[in-house]
Structure 1
């Protein structure tokens, strides 16, 4: 499970880079702006979901270790 968590964490890092790139490409950094890139918005949602998944997996991993 540790490898999965590590892999997902790396995916979060890559998504952060992709978001930064898309924001820089369009010149729009304000998430609430109407012109904020759709791609960056969807990447942010994916990143958020991965963070939730990682937190859940870490909790399960630590519970398993404690048992």
Structure 2
């Protein structure tokens, strides 16, 4: 499970780079702006979902280790 967490953490890092690139390309960094890039918005949602998954997996891993 630790490998999966590492892989997902790497995915979050890559998504962060992609989001930053897309924001810089568009010149818009405010998520509430109408002109905020659609791709960056969808990547942020994906990144948030992966972070939730990581937190869940870490909790399961800690529970397993404690048992």
State if a TM-score over 0.5 links the two structures: yes
2:40 corresponds to: 40
Query: Counterparts of 1:30 and 1:62 in 2: how far apart (Å)?
Result: 36
Unaligned runs of 5+ in 2: none
1:36 aligned counterpart, secondary structure: coil
1:37 CA displacement: 0.3
Matched positions, count = 67
2:32 aligned counterpart, secondary structure: coil
Alignment RMSD: 0.2
2:29 corresponds to: 29
Query: Counterparts of 2:28 and 2:56 in 1: how far apart (Å)?
Result: 32
Unaligned runs of 5+ in 1: none
2:16 corresponds to: 16
TM-score (norm 1): 0.99
Structure 1 segments (4+ residues) deviating >4 Å: none
